Structure 1
Amino acid sequence: MPFGLASAAAVFQRAMERLLGGLQGIKVYQDDILVYGRDEKEHNERVRGVLQRLEKSGLTLKAGKCKFNVHEIDYLGHKISSKGIEPKKELVDTIINF
């Protein structure tokens, strides 16, 4: 799908939400899929579910862009962890020191 079209991103977002709909512990934003769980076992089961859906639909992932079993991640300017979501310190410092 050419992403130059004004509605292409929204169409892709809806398609991904439909594809992965019903799976617990996931968040989809465009071509990013965040998977989380209470523990490693639950996380791995949820990752397996996502991978099965993607494979069934013929979609593939770039291994180099994937991160598995991490306890925190920087995403869209925020640090996401089991403690919650907080803005990245560097971004807050930039605002404070303006």
Structure 2
Amino acid sequence: MDDATTVRLDARALKVLAHPLRSRLLSALRLEGPATATALARALSTNTGATSYHLRRLAEAGLVEDTGAGSGRERWWRAAHERHSFFPTDVQDSPTPRRR
């Protein structure tokens, strides 16, 4: 695993990424490159408010980052890594109860 391009997810990051729109946002940024919430919302047929919210959650988990480009309220986002991975042992002690 190349540490510069791959991040190993912990239980918190996996929980953040489990949301379908967040997964789609991260995939779009990895495949298409940096974009604004408005452009991503248009591409993924969702609204800008939800897109912005989920981008911030991904950023809190270290999966995306603000590029620093843009002006005013326009923020450009990019994927923080090219790919991610995890092992079951990374999350086996997670306090989240398992569903039966």
* Higher share of residues assigned strand: 1
Instruction: Give the TM interval when normalised to the shorter protein.
Output: 0.3 to 0.5
Q: Which protein has greater RCO, CA pairs closer than 8 Å, 6+ apart?
A: 2
TM-score, normalised with respect to structure 2: 0.33
